[in-house]
Amino acid sequence: MNYRHIYHAGNFADVLKHAVLARLVTYLKQKDKAFRVLDTHAGIGLYDLSSEEAQKTGEWVDGIGRLLEKPLPGDVATILAPYLEAVRDLNPDGSIKLYPGSPKLTRILMRPQDRLSAMELHPADYETLHSLFDGDFQSRITELDGWLALGAHLPPKEKRGLVLVDPPFEIAGEYDRLVEGLAKAYKRFSGGVFCLWYPLKQGTPIRKFHEDLQALNIPKMLCAELSVRSERDTTGLSGSGLIIVNPPFTLKGELDVLLPFLKGRLAQDKFASARSLWLRGETVEEE
């Protein structure tokens, strides 16, 4: 309840998360049938990077700021197009003042037949998010613990969709809760696409987390990780990862292009690293 994403909006972790989110939504739009996006920890939806909070940390400068400071290679530009076009739509004068959180990014990319369900527990952030989407009949904003949504709000009536689980990791045991939450949600909505975010920092139990996910025996599970600096010299965030369940068949190849580029563009020291691997399905790789 103390976490406020405004201090971190647009940072390197957001770049990876939102680039992949945009690809997943774009993939769902390939079929005419409607879909729903369930965003379990939605935040306030839209962030003012000129605010005192964002300026205090300046994390966006080394994230979306670096990404837009010079031209992109052609193949990378194609992959990032849905994400960056949404950012540019919010900043028509060419500046980077407004940054879309996951619900706003999703809403920009949706078609008229698609729907968004966004959950936020923090009372003040819920009010801000609710005001942002006030009057938007395609969006439902609920003041709710996002973990509960993995049971109560699945499956969606559209029978197609994406579930984004992006908890703040304020308390111990969040990696276990991600595994447990995915297990429960997958039983209810096995045909859905799931995208789970997690932090990389000193002491995080990543190997056990991956092993616990593999033990769920979900047929297709893809992992993407980006670290921008060594975890040895900081107690803060050094990187982040995503687990994608039922990924589009093109995503692994796109990650193999995107991640090396992001590693080079966003690196903060020589220990930056990036990888994509199958945890289940396709070709499982040794870590």
What tokens were used for 120? 């936020």
What tokens were used for 152? 């109560």
Residue 154 three-state SS? coil
Say how far residue 161 (Cα) sits from the centre of its chain: 15
The strand pairing partners of 47, in sequence order, are 99
What tokens were used for 187? 């039983």
E-only strand ranges, the chain? 36-39, 46-48, 98-100, 115-119, 139-142, 161-165, 193-200, 221-227, 239-245, 273-280
The strand pairing partners of 17, in sequence order, are none
Contacts of 116 (CB under 8 A, 6+ apart): 36, 37, 39, 103, 106, 107, 110, 133, 138, 139, 140
Nearest to 284 by CA among 238, 226, 215, 230: 215
Residue 241 three-state SS? strand
Q: What residues act catalytically?
A: 166
Q: 3: buried, middle or exposed (CB in 10 Å: 19+, 13-18, 0-12)?
A: middle
